[in-house]
């Protein structure tokens, strides 16, 4: 759904949800074991990082879209 069709509450909830999910993904990456011993573990971690990067990018775009819509609605000018 386009951000201009969302209510203020939906926008704020979306911002909060995106922030929480991004934080969880970042924490998950930080918890990855830096001392992996096998090639398969290294590949698994690389795929996880790549997946997280894509998800974080999408969440970040939504976050910017939602905040831009709120700024548009409540411009101080």
Residues in the chain: 77
> What's residue 14's pLDDT?
96
> What's residue 71's pLDDT?
95
The domain locations on the chain are 3-73
> What's residue 17's pLDDT?
96
> What's residue 41's pLDDT?
83
- All residue ranges of the chain with pLDDT < 50 are none
> What's residue 7's pLDDT?
96
From first CA to last CA, the distance across the chain in angstroms is 27
> What's residue 66's pLDDT?
97
> What's residue 30's pLDDT?
84
Contact status, residue 44 vs residue 28, Cβ threshold 8 Å: no
């Amino acid at each position: 759904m386009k951000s201009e069709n969302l209510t203020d509450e939906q926008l704020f909830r979306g911002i909060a949800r995106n922030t929480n999910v991004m934080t969880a993904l970042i924490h998950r990456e930080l918890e990855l074991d830096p001392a992996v011993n096998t090639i398969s573990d290294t590949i698994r971690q690389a795929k996880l990082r790549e997946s997280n990067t894509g998800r974080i990018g999408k969440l970040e775009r939504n976050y910017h879209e939602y905040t831009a819509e709120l700024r548009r609605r409540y411009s101080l000018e």
